[in-house]
Structure 1
Amino acid sequence: MFRKIALAIAFSPRMEALVAESKRLKDLFQAELVLIHVGEKSVVHEEKLHELLEKHGLFQDGVKTIWVEGKPAKKILQTCESENVDLLVAGALKSESLLNYYIGSIARKIIRNSKCSVLTLIEPLEKPTPFDKVVINGTEQEQTPLVIEKGLEWCKLDGAKQVFVVNEIKMYGLQMATAGEGGEGEISSTRRKLVAEEVAYVNNILKDLDKGDLKINIKVTCGKWAIELAKFAEDVKADLLVVGDEGKLGFLDRLFPHDLEEILNNLPCNLLILKK
């Protein structure tokens, strides 16, 4: 699924946990690992990194370390592209009101412009565990079949115990308001029909996929999909939320919040953004 994984590192208190998580992913996908640090290369930093890599069994395990200077987001993205990275891993804090090195404008630039998939970890562990409870976005969009396929592929490899695919009833309020003119019977009938249609959309994608031993639950929500998706992930205490890329964003997206930013504003859990 991923042949080359990159970790954007900063010499922060969570650096060891991020290195340990990346080691787990490297082993899980049998991938190469590239470490990217934007900033000054010093003897102290080299020694600290050497110590961490040795501690986690990475020092002589084909790990490549790249030191570059410049604007963090730009240099990280350039390095990922030149190294043909499939998945970029970065740390993030749950709430954007608390800023750190890879959140805020840097995170947005990385997510918007990255040509590879991005995994943001809000709670990296020094002794990592698999993502047991995973929520996958099943809202009807161009990239949804790919998101579900790759999301399930991840879940199978990681041995997820619970998998939720969450779809949204489009224009729910308008459709129910129209149905309301026909009384309670029509309201109930319309609601059942709308739910059945969204479940059928997901099932139509799932029927051709290898689901292995996964237990997949299809859930249907109403309201703005990104907000409802994040709320659902938080309510079920998910370990990982899987969504797709929104594609090339225009000038207006820099002025007004778009769907992905609704999730980024207050991350409910670790977030995987899959790109083609």
Structure 2
Amino acid sequence: MSIKPFKSIGIGVAFSPNLKANLFEAARLSVFFGAKLFLIHVGESSLEKTNTLSNILKHFEKDNLNYEVVFKTGEPVSVILSTAEEKNIDLLILGAVQRERLLKYYVGSIARKITRQVKCSILLLIKPAVERIPCQHIVVNGLKDPKTEQTITSAFYVANQLEANKITIVEEINESQVPVKIDDDKSLRRANIMKERIQLREHSRIKEIINHIPKNYSENKTIKLQPIFGRKGYSIGHYAQISRADLLIMNAPSKMTFWDRLFPHDIEHILTELPTDVLILQ
């Protein structure tokens, strides 16, 4: 099991007002994870652009930031996807879009296309900042899935590198697992007993995963197990929002099909309204 999941990080670079904040976020993460940073610019190269980037990143010379600028012309989605593959990027950083006059964020059309097609992990940032905002609370999915053990292990690695001290593992449980029609006290008691049994089973499964995590990543962490009965994706997103988590970590969908575009996938709920920064792990 890989404990260092990110050896290379990529970010699309547009010379917009957010440029410095985006570069600072990407550079900080590259330093924290000991990763090489690739700055991908869709467009022609120029000395002026190169100088602008190097002047901003001078701040990270003391941290021995290792970075490379990639200039490539073409259609943005295909340029970013092809560069991510050519450079073996493990983590691609994308920015979110803020709804006008609302404190709500969503994934724009270009970023959504990339998220659906890219083969590496994705970090969606809602409010990039020049000054670091410490990451204190990470929420991670604990659903029953072959990828979940790797996802939880990676979440502990990320928490360790970012010095986050609290991790909540959310066990999303479909209401259909409690097939009891509640119409009196007796049926309510029966439903509650079934829910308690399911919660115990889920807790046992998650605790087994935590036992496999290297002790240096799990010690000195506040670990909470949170069962939620509800819709996958929507429930964990809502929980991350109300618990004011700094980062939500999710499994990538196994396969995005035509039907996923018609009937929202659990990740699609998250993309429609980002509750916080979201890391989708491949």
TM-score (norm 2): 0.88
Judging changes above 3 Å, is the alpha-carbon distance between structure 1 residues 58 and 20 closer, same or farther for their aligned structure 2 residues? Answer: farther
Q: Which residue of 2 aligns with 1:245?
A: 252
Partner of 1:232: 239
Uncovered stretches (5+) of structure 2, i.e. residues with no partner: none
Distance 1:215 1:166, change over 3 A: same
- Correspondence for 1:31 among 23, 32, 35: 35
Question: Shift of residue 153 of structure 1?
Answer: 1.2
2:210 aligned residue: 206
Quick one: structure 1 residues 96 and 41, their matched pair in 2 at CA, closer, same or farther if it must change by over 3 Å?
Answer: farther
* Distance in 1 (alpha carbons) for counterparts of 2:125 and 2:99: 12
Partner of 2:121: 117
> What is aligned with 1:93?
97
Checking the alignment, whether the CA contact within 8 Å between 2:27 and 2:65 is kept in structure 1 is: no
Number of equivalences: 272
Describe the superposition over 1:145-189 as per-residue Cα deviations: whole angstroms up to 9, x where unpaired. 111111111112221121100002223474242796943432332
On the 8 A contact 1:68/1:75 being kept in 2, the answer is yes
**1:115 aligned partner, one-letter code:** K
Unaligned runs of 5+ residues in structure 1 are none
Secondary structure of 1:88's aligned partner: strand
Q: Which residue of 2 aligns with 1:259?
A: 266
Deviations 1:103-145 (A, max 9, x none): 4221122112211111111111101233211000111122111
- Partners of 2:240 and 2:154 in 1: CA distance: 18
3-state SS of the aligned residue for 1:118? strand
Partner of 1:65: 69
SS at match of 1:139: coil
**CA contact under 8 A between 2:182 and 2:188: conserved in structure 1?**
no
Instruction: Judge conservation of contact 1:23–1:58 (CA < 8 Å) in 2.
Output: no
* Structure 1 contact 139–167 (Cα < 8 Å) conserved: yes
The separation in 2 between residues aligned to 1:235 and 1:218, in whole angstroms, is: 16
1:107 alignment partner in structure 2? 111
Change beyond 3 A, Cα 1:255–1:188: closer
The DSSP-based 3-state class of the residue aligned with 1:157 is helix
Identity of aligned residues (%): 32
Q: CA RMSD in A?
A: 2.5
